[in-house]
Structure 1
């Protein structure tokens, strides 16, 4: 990391983990706009995964699948632990959800709370232990 992670990032992590995906998007987008590399792409990857989950909540299967893939591709550039985040675990959880969504297809996204759907395990951002 070229600089200390700002407090707003951790606010975004809390929003992400509590299912406030649109609020997380707003928080991380403000950081992303002002950031320089390598943080810029890191924020963008997490932001895209958050927006994917927002799309999923709104039954936008296509948007969820596209952004899960794009966010994961951006985060793959980072070490397993970056900025206090367990990047490997976030990638693993996001990839598992992407695979599940691809297997069940757009017509199987049922109504109700996505977070309560037993088939769909939503990713969480975990702190690294390094």
Structure 2
């Protein structure tokens, strides 16, 4: 399958930890079909990670919950991604969040947090 260039760039930026840039890359193709909850779920995962990095724990928790809910519809895989693996990752992110609505930026940046490398299955 041939994937949109923005999707491939999203994967690359996600793997580099550039979560803010991820949003801009997928938003354009998601806006063409807002009923596509797969793309919305990926967007919300990236936004959740960005919120977490900035210390907005409440926002991260909200985005992770939405991302998990939207992506679960597409398990076990979609567009070459292992959705089951992504769901497990989101759950580990939710568990790693501190019990607070927000934390200082420096504390958020220094905090150990689960990571995930997205890989497109070419088979």
Give the TM-score category using the shorter length. 0.7 to 0.9
Structure 1 unmatched ranges of 5 or more: none
Coordinate RMSD, CA, aligned: 2.3
Residue 67 of structure 1 aligns to a residue whose secondary structure is: helix
Shift of 1:112: 5.2
Indicate yes or no: 2:88 matched with 1:92.
yes
Match of 2:7 in 1: 9
Give, in whole Å, the separation in 2 of the partners of 1:51 and 1:84: 21
| TM-score, structure 2 as length reference | 0.86
Pairing partner for 1:126 from 115, 119, 123: 119
Structure 2 unmatched ranges of 5 or more: none
Q: What count of residue pairs does the alignment treat as equivalent? A: 122
- Conserved 8 A contact 2:58-2:101: no
| TM-score, structure 1 as length reference | 0.82
Give, in whole Å, the separation in 1 of the partners of 2:54 and 2:103: 10
Pairing partner for 1:63 from 36, 56, 59: 59
Give, in whole Å, the separation in 2 of the partners of 1:107 and 1:33: 30
Q: 1:33 to 1:108 in 2, by over 3 A?
A: closer
Q: 1:28 to 1:36 in 2, by over 3 A?
A: same
Shift of 1:8: 1.2
- Conserved 8 A contact 1:45-1:70: yes
List per-residue Cα deviations over 1:47-66 (Å, max 9, x = no partner). 00000011111100000000
